[in-house]
Chain A
């Protein structure tokens, strides 16, 4: 289980580097190559796909990153009452919360699957890949979210992360 849940972490880092790389490629093409091809009066190199690949990467990054965030307890949380409760009550709330997150992840995956099937025949404007690939991010992200939540439910509540992990 732990090994399986480590893979999305590697994918998350990889997606960030991919997104930055794609954006840099776009910047390089626009500000360096385009003036050169203009100056040489040759056909410009196409980089119309950059925006589409960047946005698709961001969708996948959002869904997978949010799922990993469940395991890492990185989501914004307000802790005003629960830490004053008896340990047993805290444990029940911890398990209940994670089961709710798992259910939400399941719903996201289910809705994503329906949308992927519904849009499978449609294609993206630039690269013409099936739009099912966009909605597949919800399927993968939702399933991972459920898995991370179920894994977290098994573990102790642990220290509060509401301060150290909340960033603006």
Chain B
């Protein structure tokens, strides 16, 4: 692929998905400095990847995969050294009310509570949740993540239950 075509694709990708990438970086890294580095890494990976872009999948799927996979690498790197435990949706759903830190933050903004929940999740479940919040359908989420559409729907159902329960009891209206 020529450099100008790569540039055009990159511009198109950042114009269309720039805000999504920022939200994703925020969902994967709470520290502002590290988040900036992560966002740079995502843009760099996207730029390098577009050199080999083939129209076998849509630009959207391509961008989401690069972004989510780069962010996953970041999480694994961080998780190797820090002691913070990550949970699956099933584990979060089963957590008793008393040990749920998000529940106690009743007066905080809804978005902050959403981030608190997202930062607790394991990478794959985090991917599904973010893609759901970006309003992608189950089939597209399945294509990006490699998880079957049936299982994606199961995950989305869990996500909805968890969100509804937490937001309702957390005082959001």
Genuine A/B complex: no
Residues of chain B touching chain A, judged by Cβ–Cβ distance below 8 Å, are none
Residues of chain A touching chain B, judged by Cβ–Cβ distance below 8 Å, are none
